[in-house]
Structure 1
């Protein structure tokens, strides 16, 4: 990577999609003054303008300026967040969204061209691993600069669940969910720790059904969708945190979607994230069962991407 910076002065972030997710992300980033300027774009210009006017009313507590951005302007942002996509229906799996979201993604990326060569492209729409793979092919950016939100939120949910069992701070729980953001996600119990002690060695954890606990974590998003139609606040917090890692070159180790050569697929694994994008992939120690589950997830992702590629030929 030829470019380098410890902090992006005058940084600009673009959010494509001004729906419930995009607007929540914009608000979270505004409240944390993640960047100097925030651009919002949506095919529904009326809604987009309304969201921007509303966000501008909240900007007095922030150093970030907010305005509507054209697709070309958004393509020149330092961080480009794509939330535009078909909403997940109650009972619908993330993989079933592929056919409805692939054309949307292609159209969005075409509209952003030419994309700034140093930009970090972040996918939020689902299924995030597959869309990250597609975006890497269509954007023209290096794979290290095209990421998805992956299992960051799932890992947070996992840690919160363990926090409740152990009655400790969530920040003290070092545990990851990897692979797929969805039904095939893998909670890595075998190398999870709390205070340097293996998670599985705690008496409180020995008494629970780990598989059932992992299913609860994986199903939480579906529960939210069934109750209110969409998830927004959790993913907004995730994106604002990822954006801060990029703008401040924090190099935090966070599980996000990226191309993983070890599994020959876009999967979510802990990475060191900074101004240049993905600096390093960190594969946590996994037992045979966990590795087999990740490999199954990788296979499913490869097959889905292959179907997409065949469809486009």
Structure 2
């Protein structure tokens, strides 16, 4: 039976918690931790080994270098430097330099799996990893608005009283302040929210306030902790589980668009089918004119910042 192996590059707050989620949930058989701070990787490795010692499943955890990732099924890119700025885009230049330093090394070592990108700004970094790796677009994706979409459902659940598992709702676009919610596609077990709101006031939510809270939740976490950890690690674990179990589950993630929504050569979040081959299908939603304008604005924000990279190249 094939070993389910995941490598994590960058085991700071986010990377370490991603490793913990994958290990404790029994999603992986093997974890390979890589960090430029070798002692940090060694220490996290020991702590993770201690954490799984009494679990009912077995997980092998070790440290290594880029060459040790060659047999991994998935490599998680979680490098970065946390800034105090309230904009993920402020991490752009440092993050680009970091991925530029190792992606080709990982591929040249023989890695032929799937890159899952957490590093911010997620959409632009996923595009850069795709460019550097030369992989098919299906094998490079960013977690994008996956967590934001879950938060949107959580806020809607609180406002309507409906369990989040019965809600279908996404945020699309940039993993950042310009993301938008296609309200025309929000439903409760197939019933459009707008139709329900016409008959029952509990469904008539303040859409702007709900979206603002969903987008801003990460900064609420950051304000007291100086980082975000638990939410994104659960999101990453969900993606990896879907890949290993070939679920064909629909989740929003940052993927390359090639004509969808009239966009080309840009990584941005939209619902996708996630299975053993990574992003197996992009599901293009039919957006209203207002929603399309908001999505286009988000694309423009990403392209503006991609331009900063090109100017420095």
Question: Which TM-score band (shorter chain)?
Answer: over 0.9
> What stretches of structure 1 move > 2 A for 4+ residues in a row?
115-118, 200-209
1:5 corresponds in structure 2 to none
The TM-score normalised by the length of structure 2 is: 0.93
- Deviation by residue 1:270-293 (Cα, 9 ceiling, x = unmatched): 111111111110122321111111
Distance apart, 1:117 and its partner CA: 5.6
The whole-number CA distance in structure 1 between the counterparts of 2:39 and 2:27 is 26
Pairing 1:287–2:273 present = no
Instruction: Describe the SS at the equivalent of 1:118.
Output: coil
Q: Which one is further off, 143-152 or 104-113?
A: 104-113
1:209 corresponds in structure 2 to 206
Instruction: Describe the SS at the equivalent of 1:190.
Output: helix
Q: Which one is further off, 102-111 or 135-144?
A: 102-111
1:158 corresponds in structure 2 to 152
5 Å matches for 1:50-199? 50-60=43-53, 61=55, 62-89=57-84, 91-114=85-108, 116=110, 118-199=112-193
Distance apart, 1:302 and its partner CA: 2.1
Distance apart, 1:105 and its partner CA: 1.2
The whole-number CA distance in structure 2 between the counterparts of 1:19 and 1:198 is 41
The whole-number CA distance in structure 1 between the counterparts of 2:269 and 2:204 is 29
Distance apart, 1:24 and its partner CA: 0.5
Distance apart, 1:199 and its partner CA: 1.3
Q: Which has the higher contact order (CA 8 A, sep 6+)?
A: 1
Instruction: Describe the SS at the equivalent of 2:184.
Output: coil
1:24 corresponds in structure 2 to 17
The whole-number CA distance in structure 1 between the counterparts of 2:203 and 2:246 is 39
Question: Where does the alignment leave 5 or more consecutive residues of structure 1 unmatched?
Answer: 1-7
- How well do the aligned residues superpose, as a CA RMSD in angstroms? 1.6
Aligned residues between the structures: 304
The TM-score normalised by the length of structure 1 is: 0.93
The whole-number CA distance in structure 1 between the counterparts of 2:191 and 2:83 is 39
Pairing 1:244–2:238 present = no
Distance apart, 1:115 and its partner CA: 5.4
